[in-house]
Each structure stands twice: as C-alpha cells, then as structure tokens.
Structure 1
Amino acid sequence: MTRYLPLIFTGVLLNATAQLALKQGMRQIGHFDFTPASLFAMSWRIGTNGYVVLGLVCYVVSVGVWLLALSRVEVSFAYPMLSVGYIVTAVAAFYFFGEALTPLRIAGIAVIIAGVYMISRT
C-alpha cells in the first residue's frame, strides 16, 4: 500500500492548493454579506476570480486522483493520510498569508505527523 503514497499525497497537495487558492481569491474579494440583494453580484465576482477558479479546478482534479487512489488502496489506509493536508495548509498559510503558527498548532502538527507515520507503517 505504501507504494501508492505518492498518488495519495498528490491528491492531498492538490486539495491543499485548492484551499490556499480559494483563500487568496477571497482575500482579493474581501468580506461580503450573503444577502438576496448582493447574491448575483457576489456570485459573479467569486465565480470569475482567477484564484477561486484555480481552487475549484484543483478540487476537481484532486477528486479524480482520490478516486484513483481508492481503487488501489484500502480507505482505512488512505483516508487518514488526508490529514497531511492540514499540515501543508497550516505551514503554507503561515508563509503566504502570515497566519499564526502557534506552539499549540505546532504540537497538533506533530501529533498528526506521528499518526500518519503509524498508519503508514500498518
């Protein structure tokens, strides 16, 4: 099963990239209220933002990669590997967006790494 880790992690990285792209797109758009009056205008702005489109494309491709992975490995092995996405996203958000990476978050990342290691050894 470990021979499929590159496939699984490709899906994870695509998913993390999607999150980061969506965040950047929404940073460009800014805060908005979902009200009936602004629904069309905001939907148009969101749907035509390049980063949002990139994020959605990454999601679609990641689903395809995930389906390939699930056709090859047990879901009880593959699914916990998705938690690596939390690590990638937290670290990337720290570097790209200046989001906090507190000692408690770092400890959580360490726990995730330990868990992924244990699952990958089974």
Structure 2
Amino acid sequence: MTLALLLMACVLTCAGQVAQKYAVESWRDVDLGVAHKLRSPWLWLALLCLGLGLLVWLLVLQRLEVGIAYPMLSLNFVLITLVARYLFKETIDLRHWCGVGLVIAGVVLLGQHA
C-alpha cells in the first residue's frame, strides 16, 4: 500500500509538472494578461495534480521515514526525463541518461531498505 501511495505521489507530481509545461507553452509568443493566464485549464490541472500529489505525499510520510521517502521522489526525475524525451521530443544526452540510471539504482537500493 505504501509503495502504491509513493508511486501515486510521483505520478501526480509529474502530471502537475507536465500540465505546467503545457500552460506556459500556450502562453509563448502571445501577449496575454494575467487574468487570461489564470483561466488556463492547464494551469488549473497543474494545481489540481500538485495539490492531490501533496495530499498523497502526506499519507506517504505517515507510513515511511522521511529519510527513505524523500529520496524516492527522485523517481520524478526519471518520469520527467521520459516525458521530456517522448512527449515533448526534447534531446536527452548520454550524461543525462546515465544520471537517470543512477537515480533508478539509488531508488532500488533505498527500496530494499524500506
């Protein structure tokens, strides 16, 4: 159950970051006022996902020590890298992929401790 909550917090946070990216991309090269930006559905989706992610994260912290739980959030680095590569078609260099591999190795090591 704790692992499922941790993964849910990661996915919600990642989804919030993606929605933020879509929000700011929709504002690019357009002179919009603040009021118009505040009506962006992507912005509200980002706030919803990040808010729900926070609530789920609080449940995770009730079940795991923060020293174990917090480093597990580095899975977001992996998820966002995959989203950047395959959804946003960004170039990811070899050094970045090596970092992703190290993050995954670290999460696996910490996961065995939990």
Tell me if TM exceeds 0.5: yes
String of CA shifts for 1:45-86, please: whole Å, max 9, x gaps.
Answer: 321111111011101000100011111111111101100001
In the alignment, does 2:110 pair up with 1:112? no
Q: Where does the alignment leave 5 or more consecutive residues of structure 2 unmatched?
A: none
Letter in 2 for 1:75: V
| 1:93–1:99 contact (8 Å) kept in structure 2 | yes
CA distance in 2, matches of 1:77, 1:44: 41
Aligned residues: 113
Letter in 1 for 2:25: R
CA distance in 1, matches of 2:70, 2:45: 24
Structure showing greater radius of gyration is: 1
| 1:29–1:45 contact (8 Å) kept in structure 2 | no
String of CA shifts for 1:1-41, please: whole Å, max 9, x gaps.
Answer: xx5111011001100000011101111111589xxxx8xx2
In the alignment, does 2:47 pair up with 1:56? yes
Identify the range of structure 1 (10-19 vs 99-108) with the bigger mean alpha-carbon deviation.
Answer: 99-108
**Candidates 16, 24, 27, aligned match of 1:26:** 24
CA distance in 1, matches of 2:53, 2:89: 26
CA distance in 2, matches of 1:84, 1:114: 11
In the alignment, does 2:70 pair up with 1:72? no
Residue 6 of structure 1 is matched in structure 2 by 4
Q: After TM superposition, give the deviation of residue 106 of structure 1 in Å.
A: 0.5
In the alignment, does 2:77 pair up with 1:86? yes
CA distance in 1, matches of 2:29, 2:99: 29
Taking structure 1 as the reference length, the TM-score comes to 0.86
| 1:91–1:101 contact (8 Å) kept in structure 2 | no
What is the alpha-carbon root mean square deviation over aligned residues?
Answer: 1.6
The alignment partner of 1:121 has SS state of: helix
CA distance in 2, matches of 1:110, 1:69: 24
